[in-house]
Amino acid sequence: MPRQLQGDPGRLRQILLNLVNNAIKFTNTGEVVVKVSIDLDASQELEGLKVRSVENSQKFKDLRVENLENLPQLDNRSTGKPSNSVKIRFEVTDTGIGISAADQQKLFQSFSQVDASTTRQYGGTGLGLVICKQLVELMAGEIGVESELGQGSTFWFTAFFGTQTISEITPIPVTVSQLKLLVVSENTTSCESVRTYCTSWGMQIDEATDITTTLNILRSNVAQGHPYDVVIVDLQLSESQGTQLISIIGSEPTLAQTKLIAMLTIQQHDSVQELEMMGISGYFIKPVRASRLFDSLMSACGTQGYSAFVPKESIREEANIQKQKPNHSVLKILLVEDHPVNQMVILSQLEILGYQPDCVDNGKDAIAKLSQQNYDIVLMDCQMPILDGYEATKELRRREGLRRHTVVIALTAHALPSDRDKCLAAGMDDYLSKPIEQEVLGAMIERWAKHIGRPKRTKKNPSYPKKLSPTTLA
């Protein structure tokens, strides 16, 4: 994949956020994986698709759907053929409830959801897929789905982008590019991600899935005089094998030269100090990202401060921020979110930021909770069963009257002006687009913490503080 492409990041972000949010919503166990690949033989398709894209652009502008009224005007500049154009394919795969063949035909039709019961159980109207289809066609691409009922789904789309000439990339240090790695994980997605990145950096990488196999491989290579430099251990190995393996390797003298890196979920972050005492030299949080993986390898190899992805100044600034991070346990926060995975992620993010939040899973329970005690900030999901975030906020404002004003921050899967206006009209103070980034969440809470305890505004047209731009949430 090229490191830089020329296209419309706003459209791409909106499509991916919608597909990923849907995947998370309908997946109770397992995983959601986003894959991106390049089609090197597709450049000749662009000229014909360009014409179709222009036609679809006009059709899109002719739509008269209330939810789309305030969609930003889209021009046809990106449908022209850029130099050195490439076709990129995006796939969002989940292990959720799946979709029958008959229902797949309805997915991209206006105001159609596969089953009315899904609206009651999961929330939403299905309109987001219609918008995705229109945006994909404006980008000269196609969109589709592959799924079986009960077997998960893969939503895919393609789009054309122009390549760009970029400055010379900082070379990977020889000490890192020649590393010999062993990754230990039962998750094929995590293994594939680590292998892809490490191979691209010139490293040798092997895989194992359990303690016995791992120790046999390590000891055998030591005996042959070719020990592994680094072992990456997934802490999600079944039956606590991850922690056991780290303990064994860290205490075995013959493996003393092998560095250990832990691969963690966000909720396992609290175990880092214990793992460091057991001998790990670095760690990173899943999902596997190139920058996180690379920096952990650099740290393990004693080359701290170097990063091929982030300027050194940014690394120093981030380190200073972490050192100066205050304890926010006094601030009372209520999370209102119906999906268990979203709950787990956001609650973990809040705890890492220093907060001690409470959580309920629908608007009705939120109103009951707010009647029992006061909260400083409410993080309110918009689409929920029983009572959605909009109606819950309206009821909260009605009950508050003039006595107090609880800060309500909307959590929404959409970033259109119409969605923003709907949030403010319901009485919400601000909004964040999913998926929620920890840094952005922390900045939002910090900004609104200054307004805690202020009286309710009595102006007809209240002036809200400048909002975070959705473009900063990528």
Residues 86 and 136 in one domain: yes
φ/ψ of residue 381, rounded to 5: -65, 140
Residue 91 has pLDDT above 60, yes or no: yes
> What domain range is 282 assigned to?
174-307
Contacts of 394 (CB under 8 A, 6+ apart): 426, 427
Assigned token pair, 421: 């206006």
Q: Which of 253, 273, 307 is the last residue of a domain?
A: 307
Residue 328 within any structural domain of the chain: no
Q: Do 278 and 370 belong to one domain?
A: no
The CATH number assigned to the domain holding 86 equals 3.30.565.10
Residue 371: what pLDDT? 93
Instruction: Verify that 188 and 229 share a domain, yes or no.
Output: yes
Q: What radius of gyration do the chain's Cα atoms show? A: 24
pLDDT of residue 53: 45
Task: Using DSSP bridges, classify how beta strands 153-163 and 85-94 pair: parallel, antiparallel or unpaired.
Answer: antiparallel
| C-alpha closest to that of 390 among 402, 401, 378, 376 | 378
CB contact set of 436 (below 8 Å; sequence gap of 6+): 345, 346, 349, 411
Same domain (yes/no): 141, 235: no
Q: pLDDT averaged over the chain?
A: 79
Give the mean model confidence (pLDDT) for residues 264-284: 89
Q: What is the pLDDT of residue 461?
A: 42
Is 128 domain-assigned? yes
Render pLDDT for 326-357 as a digit per residue (tens, 0 to 9). Answer: 445 578 999 999 988 788 889 989 988 889 89
Find all residues with CB under 8 Å of 338, minimum gap 6, and list them: 122, 123, 361, 362, 381, 384, 385
Q: Which residues have CB under 8 Å from 295's CB, separation 6+? A: 282, 284, 307, 309, 310
What CATH number corresponds to the domain at position 257?
3.40.50.2300
Mean pLDDT confidence for 50-77: 42
Last residue of a domain, one of 292, 307, 322: 307
Q: Are 157 and 178 in a shared domain?
A: no
Kindly report, residue by residue over 405-446, the tens digit of the pLDDT. 899 999 987 666 777 888 989 999 999 988 888 989 999 999
pLDDT of 106 over the 80 cut: yes
| 408 occurs within a structural domain | yes
Residues 302 and 180 in one domain: yes
Question: Do 36 and 116 lie in a common domain?
Answer: yes
pTM: 0.60
* Position 317 in a domain: no
pLDDT in tens, 180-211: 999 999 999 999 999 999 998 899 999 999 99
Residues 139 and 183 in one domain: no
DSSP string, 9-65: HHHHHHHHHHHHHHHHHT-SSS-EEEEEEEETT-GGGHHHHHHHHHHHHHHHHH---
- For residue 316, being part of any structural domain is answered with no
Question: Could you give the angle at the alpha carbon of 221 between the alpha carbons of 216 and 225, nearest 5°?
Answer: 150
pLDDT at 131 over 50: yes
Share of the chain above pLDDT 70, in %: 73
Answer whether residue 72 shows pLDDT above 70: no
Instruction: Please state the domain count of the chain.
Output: 3
Helix axes 389-400, 363-372, angle to 10 degrees: 30
- Domain C-terminal end among 265, 292, 307: 307
In a domain, residue 322? The reply is: no
Same domain, 13 and 136: yes
